[in-house]
Structure 1
Amino acid sequence: MRSPISSLERSALQLTFGSITLTVVTLACLYLHAHFAAKAFAYLLVILLFSLMGSFIASSALCIVTIAALAYYFAPPAWNGSWSIVEAHGGRLSMAHKNGPGATFQVALPPHKEAVS
Protein backbone atom coordinates (compact mmCIF):
# COMPACT_ATOMS: atom_id res chain seq x y z
CA MET A 1 0.00 0.00 0.00
CA ARG A 2 1.31 3.45 -0.90
CA SER A 3 1.75 6.12 1.67
CA PRO A 4 -0.20 9.37 1.17
CA ILE A 5 3.03 11.35 0.82
CA SER A 6 4.34 9.27 -2.08
CA SER A 7 0.95 9.52 -3.79
CA LEU A 8 1.00 13.30 -3.39
CA GLU A 9 4.56 13.45 -4.69
CA ARG A 10 3.60 11.35 -7.70
CA SER A 11 0.66 13.67 -8.48
CA ALA A 12 2.89 16.73 -8.19
CA LEU A 13 5.49 15.14 -10.43
CA GLN A 14 2.86 14.20 -13.01
CA LEU A 15 1.46 17.73 -12.98
CA THR A 16 4.95 19.22 -13.34
CA PHE A 17 5.91 17.03 -16.29
CA GLY A 18 2.50 17.58 -17.87
CA SER A 19 2.87 21.35 -17.57
CA ILE A 20 6.34 21.21 -19.11
CA THR A 21 4.99 19.09 -21.97
CA LEU A 22 2.11 21.53 -22.51
CA THR A 23 4.57 24.41 -22.62
CA VAL A 24 6.65 22.64 -25.27
CA VAL A 25 3.51 21.82 -27.31
CA THR A 26 2.29 25.43 -27.02
CA LEU A 27 5.64 26.86 -28.15
CA ALA A 28 5.83 24.39 -31.03
CA CYS A 29 2.31 25.28 -32.18
CA LEU A 30 3.09 29.00 -31.99
CA TYR A 31 6.32 28.51 -33.93
CA LEU A 32 4.69 26.34 -36.61
CA HIS A 33 1.53 28.48 -36.90
CA ALA A 34 -0.51 25.29 -36.64
CA HIS A 35 -4.24 25.22 -37.36
CA PHE A 36 -6.56 25.47 -34.33
CA ALA A 37 -7.77 21.86 -34.76
CA ALA A 38 -4.18 20.58 -34.84
CA LYS A 39 -3.40 22.47 -31.63
CA ALA A 40 -6.47 21.09 -29.91
CA PHE A 41 -5.57 17.55 -31.04
CA ALA A 42 -1.99 17.92 -29.75
CA TYR A 43 -3.34 19.11 -26.39
CA LEU A 44 -5.78 16.18 -26.33
CA LEU A 45 -2.90 13.75 -26.86
CA VAL A 46 -0.96 15.29 -23.97
CA ILE A 47 -3.98 15.04 -21.67
CA LEU A 48 -4.65 11.47 -22.73
CA LEU A 49 -1.07 10.30 -22.22
CA PHE A 50 -0.74 11.93 -18.82
CA SER A 51 -4.17 10.67 -17.73
CA LEU A 52 -2.95 7.13 -18.32
CA MET A 53 -0.26 7.69 -15.70
CA GLY A 54 -2.87 7.29 -12.99
CA SER A 55 -3.44 10.38 -10.84
CA PHE A 56 -6.97 11.75 -11.18
CA ILE A 57 -6.22 15.02 -9.38
CA ALA A 58 -3.16 15.79 -11.48
CA SER A 59 -5.00 14.84 -14.68
CA SER A 60 -7.90 17.13 -13.76
CA ALA A 61 -5.58 20.02 -12.99
CA LEU A 62 -3.70 19.41 -16.24
CA CYS A 63 -6.99 19.43 -18.14
CA ILE A 64 -7.94 22.81 -16.65
CA VAL A 65 -4.51 24.24 -17.50
CA THR A 66 -4.84 22.91 -21.04
CA ILE A 67 -8.26 24.51 -21.56
CA ALA A 68 -6.97 27.83 -20.23
CA ALA A 69 -3.91 27.72 -22.49
CA LEU A 70 -5.97 26.81 -25.54
CA ALA A 71 -8.44 29.62 -24.89
CA TYR A 72 -5.79 32.22 -24.04
CA TYR A 73 -3.20 31.54 -26.74
CA PHE A 74 -5.16 30.19 -29.68
CA ALA A 75 -8.90 30.98 -29.58
CA PRO A 76 -9.91 34.18 -31.39
CA PRO A 77 -11.81 36.81 -29.40
CA ALA A 78 -15.56 36.26 -29.52
CA TRP A 79 -16.49 39.83 -30.50
CA ASN A 80 -13.61 40.50 -32.89
CA GLY A 81 -15.91 40.04 -35.91
CA SER A 82 -18.15 42.95 -34.90
CA TRP A 83 -15.17 45.23 -34.54
CA SER A 84 -13.79 44.41 -37.99
CA ILE A 85 -17.20 44.81 -39.68
CA VAL A 86 -17.66 48.28 -38.20
CA GLU A 87 -14.12 49.33 -39.14
CA ALA A 88 -14.55 47.97 -42.69
CA HIS A 89 -17.42 50.43 -43.15
CA GLY A 90 -15.38 53.37 -41.86
CA GLY A 91 -17.03 53.34 -38.45
CA ARG A 92 -15.92 53.27 -34.85
CA LEU A 93 -16.88 50.97 -31.98
CA SER A 94 -16.40 52.28 -28.45
CA MET A 95 -17.33 51.11 -24.99
CA ALA A 96 -17.63 52.87 -21.66
CA HIS A 97 -18.10 51.64 -18.12
CA LYS A 98 -20.99 53.07 -16.14
CA ASN A 99 -20.74 53.91 -12.44
CA GLY A 100 -23.22 51.14 -11.65
CA PRO A 101 -23.50 47.72 -13.16
CA GLY A 102 -23.25 47.36 -16.90
CA ALA A 103 -21.47 49.10 -19.74
CA THR A 104 -22.36 51.21 -22.78
CA PHE A 105 -21.36 50.17 -26.30
CA GLN A 106 -21.58 52.75 -29.07
CA VAL A 107 -21.30 52.18 -32.81
CA ALA A 108 -20.61 55.24 -34.98
CA LEU A 109 -20.93 54.82 -38.76
CA PRO A 110 -20.43 57.52 -41.40
CA PRO A 111 -23.49 58.62 -43.38
CA HIS A 112 -24.36 56.51 -46.40
CA LYS A 113 -23.25 58.05 -49.70
CA GLU A 114 -25.54 57.57 -52.67
CA ALA A 115 -24.01 55.93 -55.67
CA VAL A 116 -23.45 58.28 -58.60
CA SER A 117 -24.76 56.85 -61.89
Structure 2
Amino acid sequence: KEIAKLQGHEDSVISASFSPDGQRILTASDDNTARLWDLQGKEIAKFQGRDSGGIIASFSRDGQHILSASVDKTGRVVSIYVWNVESLEQLLARGCRWLHNYLIYAPNLSDSDRQLCNKK
Protein backbone atom coordinates (compact mmCIF):
# COMPACT_ATOMS: atom_id res chain seq x y z
CA LYS A 1 0.00 0.00 0.00
CA GLU A 2 1.35 3.43 -0.95
CA ILE A 3 1.86 5.62 2.12
CA ALA A 4 3.43 8.70 0.51
CA LYS A 5 4.23 10.28 -2.82
CA LEU A 6 7.36 12.41 -3.00
CA GLN A 7 6.77 15.21 -5.48
CA GLY A 8 8.97 18.20 -6.25
CA HIS A 9 11.85 17.18 -8.47
CA GLU A 10 11.77 18.72 -11.93
CA ASP A 11 13.82 16.03 -13.71
CA SER A 12 14.69 12.35 -13.38
CA VAL A 13 15.36 11.05 -9.87
CA ILE A 14 18.78 9.38 -9.77
CA SER A 15 18.60 7.84 -6.31
CA ALA A 16 16.46 7.50 -3.20
CA SER A 17 17.42 6.12 0.20
CA PHE A 18 16.21 5.97 3.78
CA SER A 19 18.14 7.66 6.57
CA PRO A 20 19.91 5.28 8.97
CA ASP A 21 17.08 5.71 11.51
CA GLY A 22 14.43 5.08 8.84
CA GLN A 23 12.62 8.36 9.57
CA ARG A 24 13.65 10.41 6.51
CA ILE A 25 14.15 9.83 2.80
CA LEU A 26 16.87 11.40 0.66
CA THR A 27 16.37 11.76 -3.08
CA ALA A 28 18.77 13.10 -5.70
CA SER A 29 17.89 14.26 -9.18
CA ASP A 30 19.08 15.43 -12.55
CA ASP A 31 17.41 18.76 -11.64
CA ASN A 32 20.61 19.49 -9.64
CA THR A 33 18.91 19.09 -6.24
CA ALA A 34 18.87 16.60 -3.42
CA ARG A 35 15.79 16.68 -1.23
CA LEU A 36 15.06 15.42 2.25
CA TRP A 37 11.53 14.15 2.99
CA ASP A 38 9.60 12.90 5.99
CA LEU A 39 7.74 9.59 5.80
CA GLN A 40 4.49 11.35 4.88
CA GLY A 41 6.10 12.83 1.74
CA LYS A 42 6.59 16.38 3.06
CA GLU A 43 9.79 18.05 1.87
CA ILE A 44 11.99 18.94 4.85
CA ALA A 45 14.99 20.41 3.04
CA LYS A 46 16.32 21.09 -0.44
CA PHE A 47 20.04 20.94 -1.20
CA GLN A 48 20.88 22.82 -4.39
CA GLY A 49 23.97 21.86 -6.36
CA ARG A 50 26.16 24.77 -7.38
CA ASP A 51 27.08 23.42 -10.80
CA SER A 52 25.02 22.47 -13.82
CA GLY A 53 24.06 18.84 -14.28
CA GLY A 54 22.69 16.29 -11.87
CA ILE A 55 23.46 15.54 -8.27
CA ILE A 56 24.03 12.36 -6.30
CA ALA A 57 23.65 12.19 -2.53
CA SER A 58 23.88 9.88 0.48
CA PHE A 59 23.56 9.97 4.26
CA SER A 60 26.50 9.63 6.62
CA ARG A 61 26.44 6.47 8.70
CA ASP A 62 25.02 8.35 11.71
CA GLY A 63 22.46 10.26 9.59
CA GLN A 64 23.72 13.67 10.78
CA HIS A 65 25.23 14.72 7.44
CA ILE A 66 24.49 14.43 3.76
CA LEU A 67 27.21 14.15 1.16
CA SER A 68 26.25 15.45 -2.28
CA ALA A 69 28.23 15.48 -5.49
CA SER A 70 27.38 17.50 -8.57
CA VAL A 71 27.99 15.66 -11.80
CA ASP A 72 28.19 17.04 -15.31
CA LYS A 73 26.44 15.57 -18.37
CA THR A 74 29.26 13.03 -18.86
CA GLY A 75 28.88 11.76 -15.28
CA ARG A 76 32.12 13.37 -14.10
CA VAL A 77 32.02 14.64 -10.50
CA VAL A 78 32.69 18.37 -10.53
CA SER A 79 32.13 19.29 -6.86
CA ILE A 80 31.37 17.65 -3.53
CA TYR A 81 29.53 19.17 -0.54
CA VAL A 82 28.80 18.08 3.02
CA TRP A 83 25.54 19.31 4.58
CA ASN A 84 24.33 19.24 8.19
CA VAL A 85 21.02 17.50 8.79
CA GLU A 86 19.14 19.14 11.64
CA SER A 87 16.12 17.83 13.44
CA LEU A 88 13.15 20.18 13.78
CA GLU A 89 14.11 20.77 17.43
CA GLN A 90 17.68 21.71 16.45
CA LEU A 91 16.45 24.04 13.71
CA LEU A 92 14.01 25.79 16.07
CA ALA A 93 16.69 26.17 18.74
CA ARG A 94 19.07 27.74 16.20
CA GLY A 95 16.31 30.09 15.03
CA CYS A 96 15.50 31.15 18.58
CA ARG A 97 19.18 31.86 19.32
CA TRP A 98 19.27 34.03 16.20
CA LEU A 99 16.04 35.88 17.15
CA HIS A 100 16.82 36.28 20.86
CA ASN A 101 17.69 40.00 20.92
CA TYR A 102 15.01 40.88 18.38
CA LEU A 103 12.30 39.32 20.54
CA ILE A 104 13.53 41.25 23.58
CA TYR A 105 14.01 44.70 22.06
CA ALA A 106 11.79 45.01 18.97
CA PRO A 107 9.02 47.58 19.32
CA ASN A 108 5.39 46.70 18.63
CA LEU A 109 5.59 43.01 19.55
CA SER A 110 2.87 41.48 21.66
CA ASP A 111 3.80 39.80 24.93
CA SER A 112 2.95 36.41 23.41
CA ASP A 113 5.30 37.08 20.46
CA ARG A 114 8.08 38.05 22.87
CA GLN A 115 7.63 34.66 24.59
CA LEU A 116 7.68 32.68 21.31
CA CYS A 117 11.00 30.96 22.02
CA ASN A 118 10.25 30.40 25.70
CA LYS A 119 7.43 27.96 24.98
CA LYS A 120 8.19 24.32 25.65
Q: TM-score, normalised by structure 2?
A: 0.26
- The higher-RCO structure (CA 8 Å, 6+ apart) is 1
Compare the two structures and name the one with the higher helix fraction: 1
Indicate the structure (1 or 2) with the bigger Cα radius of gyration: 1
Q: TM-score, normalised by structure 1?
A: 0.26
Compare the two structures and name the one with the higher strand fraction: 2
